């Protein structure tokens, strides 16, 4: 029983860390964006660049995570990242200088990587080491809760507080989240054995598999980031939907909160790659519904679909990384996130540019959906590569004489 209680505490530390680094430090920018445009004079193109710079920070953090093997160092950087997340949030409310905002968004991106990659890697390592299922569904519920919580908080706070005061309110919320995020995650065990005495060994995929996997994940990054960054602004500009942007963003968070647990169960039944393909197809539908069908019902249903799939894809990919590299999961997680993160730098900047040129965000959504189609095709090809690799690794075993 104490082992289960410890597992719940560790997973809860992860949930609170993700609400902090992704909800407060990162995604609070999305529901606050229209308010900052109205009250602080933030332009459309600048808004896109700030989002791109945030993802550049995340990408830099992913690069650092991919280079670190030392568990103790990862733990130290994770804890520093939690504190940095709060500081970067406070800075957003202290100025209207776009350069300082950009610096804050970059640092917030670094802290996101600390929570998302280093924290996730530490938790996955703890789960495997203590002979629990190497699934991250419960942990990743923190992302959906962070998104929904931010949308709900902005919807409530906007009645009394301006954009600046809301950034300070989020800073205070972050300070509360910091306590369990730091206290409930134990220092890492650096031995190479599980608690039951089994040796932890890596089982890396083939080079071709990794290349295709990273390319598919890049496409998923494009599909995710356009909606995640601009959905509130997109909804506010659609006919008859002004004033409903926050409601739709809240729907993304509600869809995302249970999504990873659901996708863990789906992957158990149909396999990781089939689950990824199913999630990608549903995400494409979710991205396109607001602009193709129109109306509030389609926008909310699309948001629920989008929220229920994008984070499921991230969870499945990072869980797969942990299974391939149980001794150093953050290393492959970092590599995968580099490709996801590269998409998150390019896509918001391109979307902002398209919106400025065309006067609408619609083109950005169509671009995101088209890139997701390419990613789905790559995942289908990946299934064939996985079969080929499995056959190749089984051949030497069949050639060995029995007895």
Question: Measured between alpha carbons, how far is 126 from 186 in angstroms, rounded to an integer?
Answer: 9
Name the band, by pLDDT with cuts 50, 70 and 90, for residue 403: very low
Average pLDDT over residues 172-191: 90
For residue 382, name the pLDDT band (cuts at 50, 70, 90): very high
| Alpha-carbon distance values, 81 to 173, 174, 249 (Å) | 16, 12, 26
Q: pLDDT above 90 covers what percent of the chain?
A: 37
pLDDT of 85-109, one tens digit each? 999 999 999 998 999 999 999 999 9
* 238: pLDDT strictly greater than 50: yes
Exposure string for 151-166, b = 16+ CB within 10 A, e = fewer: bbbbeebbeebebbeb
Q: Which of 68, 54, 344, 312 is nearest to 219 (CA)?
A: 344
pLDDT greater than 60 at residue 48: yes
Interval 318-323 mean pLDDT: 83
Query: How does DSSP assign 341-357, residue by residue?
Result: HHHHHHHHHHHHHHHHH
pLDDT at 398 over 60: no
pLDDT at 24 over 50: yes
- For the segment 340-353, the average pLDDT, to the nearest whole number, is 81
Give the pLDDT of residue 77: 95
Domain ranges of the chain: 2-186+202-390
User: What's phi and psi for 198, nearest 5 deg?
Assistant: -80, 145
DSSP 203: -
Q: What percentage of the chain has pLDDT greater than the value 70? A: 95
- Does residue 400 register a pLDDT over 80? no
Q: 319 or 168: which carries more pLDDT confidence?
A: 168
Helix residue spans in 26-69 (DSSP H): 29-39, 44-67
Q: Which CATH architecture has domain 2-186+202-390?
A: Up-down Bundle (1.20)
Query: Do 208 and 144 meet the contact criterion of CB atoms below 8 Å apart?
Result: no
């Amino acid at each position: 029983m104490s082992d289960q209680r410890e597992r719940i505490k560790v997973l809860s530390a992860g949930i609170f860390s993700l609400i902090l680094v992704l909800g407060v430090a990162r995604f609070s920018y999305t529901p606050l964006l229209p308010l900052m445009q109205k009250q602080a004079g933030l332009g459309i193109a600048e808004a896109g660049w700030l989002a791109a710079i945030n993802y550049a920070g995340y990408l830099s953090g992913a690069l650092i995570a991919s280079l670190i093997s030392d568990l103790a160092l990862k733990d130290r950087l994770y804890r520093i990242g939690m504190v940095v997340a709060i500081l970067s949030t406070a800075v957003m409310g202290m100025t209207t200088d776009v350069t300082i905002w950009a610096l804050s968004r970059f640092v917030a991106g670094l802290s996101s990587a600390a929570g998302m990659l280093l924290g996730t890697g530490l938790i996955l390592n703890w789960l495997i080491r203590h002979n629990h299922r190497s699934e991250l569904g419960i942990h990743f519920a923190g992302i959906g809760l962070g998104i929904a919580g931010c949308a709900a908080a902005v919807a409530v706070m906007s009645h009394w507080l301006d954009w600046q005061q809301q950034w300070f309110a989020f800073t205070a919320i972050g300070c509360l989240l910091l306590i369990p995020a730091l206290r409930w995650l134990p220092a890492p065990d650096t031995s190479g054995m599980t608690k039951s005495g089994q040796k932890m060994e890596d089982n890396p995929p083939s080079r071709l598999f990794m290349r295709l996997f990273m390319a598919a994940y890049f496409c998923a990054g494009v599909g995710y980031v356009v909606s995640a960054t601009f959905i509130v602004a997109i909804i506010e500009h659609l006919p008859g939907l002004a004033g409903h942007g926050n409601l739709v963003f809240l729907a993304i968070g509600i869809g995302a909160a249970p999504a990873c647990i659901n996708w863990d169960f789906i992957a158990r039944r149909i396999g990781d790659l089939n689950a990824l393909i199913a999630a990608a197809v549903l995400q494409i539908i979710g991205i396109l519904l607001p602009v193709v069908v129109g109306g509030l019902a389609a926008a909310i249903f699309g948001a629920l679909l989008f929220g229920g799939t994008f984070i499921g894809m991230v969870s499945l990919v990072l869980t797969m990384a942990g299974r391939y590299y149980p001794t150093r999961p953050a290393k492959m997680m970092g590599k995968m996130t580099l490709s996801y993160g590269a998409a998150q730098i390019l896509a918001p900047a391109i979307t902002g540019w398209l919106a400025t040129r065309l006067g609408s965000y619609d083109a950005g959504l169509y671009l995101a959906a088209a890139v997701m189609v390419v990613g789905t095709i790559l995942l289908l090809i990946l299934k064939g590569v996985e079969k080929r690799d499995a056959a190749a690794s089984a051949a030497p075993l069949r050639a060995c004489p029995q007895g």
